[in-house]
Structure 1
Amino acid sequence: MSFSVGRLASVLDGLEGLDEFCGQALADHGCASVSLAIAERDEIVCARAYGLADVARRRPATPDTVYGLASVTKAFTATAVCLAADEGLLDLDTPVPGDHEWTAPTPRQLLQHRGGFPAFYNFHYEPGPLPIDIDRYRRLVREPGTEFEYSNLGYHELGSLLEAATGRPLGDFLRARICEPLGLRSFGYGPVHTGSSPVAQRYSADGRPYPTCFSGHPAAGAGWATAGEVALFARTSHRLLKPATVAAMYDAVPINDHLGYGLGRIVSRGTGPTVRSHGGGMGGIAAMMIEVPERDLAVAVLANSTGKAARDAVVGHLMGVLAPGFRSEQLNPVVEQARPMTLARGEWEGGISTEEGAVPLRIKVLADHRVELRLAGAAPVTVPAVASLRGDVRVSAPLQLPTADARINSPGLALELRAEHDRLVGRAIAFKDGDREGRLGAYLVHPCALKSL
């Protein structure tokens, strides 16, 4: 580890026990390794790594180890979109081409996760064509510009738009126009890192190694970098853009009492130091990028485990010293807070619309906040139910949606439904709850409508 002599020197003294803390965090949370970096202005003032980048080979993690970034990639993609807009290659407020049920979304709305697309991911682990076609799920679920919903589909649209506007593969544009000017030499883009730097093997929450992961939305999560490079990007990427574009990037539309989402950045609101950030998580990756502009510093923490607990512990420890008053809720854009279900007892029947046709579904609201579900020919299942800001009933059950896509690796079913007169309407989601058994699968959203009996 090396330090520069600067304004952070006295603050860094407060990290005297950092080595012991990080080693204990890895042990407590079963994480193979973690790499961290702190940048002040445009200089790395602290870079450390702990644990093993490859457990089988006993290869230690170092500050030069490259990690997957998952959704931290969105900040890089967003900066590229803004750069292309500054150069007149696209307009942030011109609707993107496409055939949509509602008004076509604009790049600005997609950048803010207000493009009308639902949540989605499709992770697969065999080379060749992806078995789940992303185009089957590229449908708007609401009018663009209204509600916030974090969506990889929106960033997939942005990646396609950038490639059409620049005439270059997105990875090439990111490297040439974002990373090379900023000196980020190890940055990579794609299912694997192809550079010469050592790469951290990815592990499940219970320590099983992941093979190469492929997805249909690389613009949302296929980046690779060292912790130092992520911290430098957070501190210096604004220099590539016009001042008005930088202001727009951080002009975050509120999504809850604590946070807003700008153009590829989460921006804190309310008390405490202003924090601009983006996190990332998927199979074998837990990443966090944070900038504290009033202190001219940035922090990056990268781990090679699906579990986020070790990453979060290290982030909390660093930020507690570097940014007094920091609160963990300044980072997490959660909008779906659970509340007690008040839906009256009764029965509803209808179906889930899928690419293979309607799947029959019947639900019965019971006493004590429980719901009985009957999906197609499966045996009935009774599960607890809650409500949320988006729906009057929200449940999750071990039910397999009988479609080819869901059978690949999405064995659970979730429902988010709202009451409209004598109907329940909303969405049914095929998904997998974590990766302690097998690998992380897909998250597939389908329309659902039921009528009262």
Structure 2
Amino acid sequence: MVDGLDEVCEQALAEHGCASVSVAVVERDELVLARAYGLADRESGRPATPETVYGLASVTKAFTATAVCLAADEGLIDLDAPVPGDHPWTAPTPRQLLQHRGGFPAFYNFHYGDDGTLPIDIDRYRTLVREPGTGFEYSNLGYHELGRLLESATGQGLADHLRERIAEPLGLTGFGLGSAYSGPGPVAERYTADGRRYATCHSGHPAAGAGWATAADIARFARGGHRLLKPATEAAMHDALPIGELLGYGFGRIVSHGEGPVVRSHGGGMGGVATMMIEIPERELAVAVLANSTDKAARDAVVDHLVGALAPGFHAGLVTPDSDPVRPMEQAPGEWAGWIDTADGQIPVTTVVMTDGQAELRLADHPPVTTAAFATRQWDLVVSAPLQLPTADARLNSPSFALAVRAEQDGRLTGRAVAFKSGDQEGWLGPYLTYPCTLRPA
């Protein structure tokens, strides 16, 4: 069907150290391609097959969004009614949460092992950091709220609801939701970028990233999932507010606009997972590419070749958002000092902006670190360094620190402090923890 696909997939696996990749294409409503390459389990030598089930990471959001829309069609959820909760601003609506405009920050609390107990309580981070509707910020917390809302509105657990209302009507026999896959299919084990096997990964936000499926399941869902909805709801799902020059975010889907074919997509990435779901409506075509490596390079190489051959004019910029691009920093030199608000109390932080594109960062009682400073569309000053935020949660597996702040008219710098882990070259991917922060001229 696509010249050179076998060679491209095999080369991508070898070049990027990826264990396996599975691809599927649905044209109109027919599965016309389903192939897999490499090993689903390196230790046993078990090969990947088209029936192999992969973790989906954030492609799960498209399933959650479709289920919310189905509940809205049935009168169980009002997309524009405030979601119950104690919030510092107006409560967000499901529509805002679906479009990542509900005011929640970025967050994930991955934890590994057979014990499903999560040492990091998601409720400590379920706090709005901006007025809902005022801007885009990709947030697992927002989709966690949608999952809770679905369970409350339908009276079903989320896993059962997604299976009964979406997977079964569409014939997605491999779909499942949970920290580990409990379905009938063979599973692709997850591997770090340098080939170490992951343990079972748990998180407090399954609605945002705990899905499992085959590539064929994802291609079928991409073509048919939105057809489960009423026409007006389907139109709302694809009414994507801009998040960049070529892309907008609708309900669990990124939608391209402008040059090239219209592309509806969602990618996924976490420890040992790199996935992509693509629909090109004008070609009545859907593509899924699933890989079991943290490194997305093999996935991207296969997507570029496969979709580029099937849909002339396609390029990576039609599926990969850059919602907060870097810009020249205009923050004046000076020193600011303040506090990071955490569940363990306030933690002191100071930054000194220099004239050469650098800044000095002082966190708690750590020695000062000089690091590169830059700005983005959203933030006037961004700095990061290998500094440990001294909270119980951050000490678990988030050894790096970042500060992203904007300048206020009164001279303050307000924004976020983040504890995180940069990749999984050492150990496994760590939690991403966000805290409010305010600094004043020193």
Q: TM-score, normalised by structure 1?
A: 0.96
Alignment-mate amino acid for residue 55 of structure 2: G
**1:74 counterpart residue number:** 61
Displacement after TM superposition at 1:257 (Å): 1.1
| Other-structure match for 1:252 | 240
Task: Decide which moves more: 350-359 or 275-284.
Answer: 350-359
1:101 — aligned with what? 88
Query: CA separation in 1, counterparts of 2:250 and 2:204?
Result: 24
C-alpha separation in 1, matches of 2:104 and 2:292: 29
User: Offset at 1:340?
Assistant: 2.0
1:308 and 2:296 equivalent?
Answer: yes
Q: Name the stretch that deviates more: 326-335 or 133-142.
A: 326-335
Q: State the Cα deviation string for residues 264-297 of structure 1 (Å, max 9, x = none).
A: 1110011100000000000000000000000001
The one of 16, 30, 43 equivalent to 1:56 is 43
Of 242, 245, 260, the residue aligned with 1:272 is 260
Is the aligned partner of 1:115 residue 2:102? Answer: yes
Q: How far does residue 400 in structure 1 lie from its aligned partner after superposition? A: 0.4
Letter paired with 2:273? I
* Counterpart in the other structure of 1:444: 433
- Other-structure match for 1:292: 280
- Is 1:224 the counterpart of 2:212 in the alignment? yes
> 1:34: which partner in 2?
21
Q: State how far apart, in whole Å, the 2-side matches of 1:376 and 1:288 are.
A: 40
| Separation in structure 2 between the aligned mates of residue 16 and residue 327 of structure 1, nearest angstrom | 18
TM superposition shift of 1:146? 1.6
Q: Percent identity?
A: 70
Distance in 2 separating the partners of 1:408 and 1:353: 18
Alignment correspondent of 1:391 = 379
**2:323 is matched with which residue?**
335
| Matching residue's letter, 1:445 | T
One-letter identity of the residue aligned with 2:121 = D
Cα distance in structure 2, aligned partners of 1:404 and 1:116: 25
Shift of 1:451: 1.0
Amino acid at match of 1:270: G
Name the structure 1 match of 2:311: 323
2:150 alignment partner in structure 1: 162
Let me know the Cα RMSD of the aligned residues.
0.8
Q: Aligned equivalents of 1:327 and 1:18: distance in 2?
A: 17
Q: Work out the CA distance in 1 between the residues paired with 2:99 and 2:180.
A: 27
Matched, 1:239 2:207: no
SS state at 1:94 partner: coil
Code of the residue aligned with 2:120 in structure 1: it is I
What is the CA deviation profile of residues 3-35 of structure 1, one whole-angstrom value per residue up to 9, with x for unaligned ones? Answer: xxxxxxxxx3xx221111110010111100000
Separation in structure 2 between the aligned mates of residue 116 and residue 425 of structure 1, nearest angstrom:
15
Does 1:362 find its partner at 2:350? yes
For 2:120, what is the secondary structure of its paired residue?
coil
AA in 2 matched with 1:451:
R
Q: Which amino acid aligns with 1:266?
A: I
Counterpart of 1:16 in structure 2 is 3
Distance 1:19 1:354 in 2: 50
Matched position secondary structure for 1:442:
coil
Q: Aligned equivalents of 2:104 and 2:85: distance in 1?
A: 13
Distance in 1 between residues matched to 2:11 and 2:100, nearest whole Å: 36
| Deviation for aligned residue 1:422 | 2.2
Deviation of 1:87 after TM superposition, in Å, equals: 0.8
Report the counterpart of residue 31 of structure 2 in structure 1.
44
Tell me the number of residue pairs that the alignment of Structure 1 and Structure 2 aligns.
440
Misfit runs of 4+, over 2 Å: none
> For 1:28 and 1:128, how far apart are their aligned partners in 2?
35
> How far apart, in 1, do the equivalents of 2:369 and 2:63 lie?
43
| Alpha-carbon distance in structure 2 between the residues aligned to 1:79 and 1:324 | 29
Contact 2:176 2:211 in 1 (8 A): yes
1:194 equivalent among 158, 179, 182: 182
Output one character per residue of 1:149-196: Cα deviation in whole Å (capped at 9) or x when no partner: 100000000000000000000100100110001000111110011112
Q: CA deviation at 1:367?
A: 2.7
The CA distance in 2 between the partners of 1:345 and 1:165, in whole Å, is: 52
CA distance in 2, matches of 1:25, 1:348: 47
Residue 385 of structure 1 aligns to a residue whose secondary structure is strand
**Structure 1: gaps spanning 5 or more residues:** 1-11
Give the conservation status (yes or no) of the 8 Å contact 2:116–2:202.
no
- Name the counterpart of 1:433: 422
CA distance in 2, matches of 1:247, 1:425: 37
Q: Which sections of structure 2, spanning at least 5 residues, go unmatched?
A: none
Query: Matched residues in 2 for 1:333 and 1:145: separation?
Result: 19
Partner of 1:133: 121
CA displacement, residues 403-436 of structure 1 (integer Å, 9 cap, x when unaligned): 0000000000011011123221111000000001
The secondary structure found in structure 1 opposite 2:317 is helix
CA contact (8 A) 2:40 2:188 kept: yes
Correspondences of 1:136-215 after superposition (within 5 Å): 136-215=124-203
Quote how far apart the aligned CAs of 1:239 are. Answer: 2.2
SS of 1:386's equivalent in the other structure is strand
Question: Could you list the per-position Cα deviations for residues 286-328 of structure 1 after superposition, in whole angstroms to 9, with x for gaps in the alignment?
Answer: 0000000000010000000000000000000011101111121
Q: Secondary structure at the match of 2:220?
A: helix
SS at match of 1:232: helix
Distance in structure 2 (CA, Å) of the matches to 1:99 and 1:31: 44
Secondary structure in structure 1 of the residue aligned to 2:225: helix
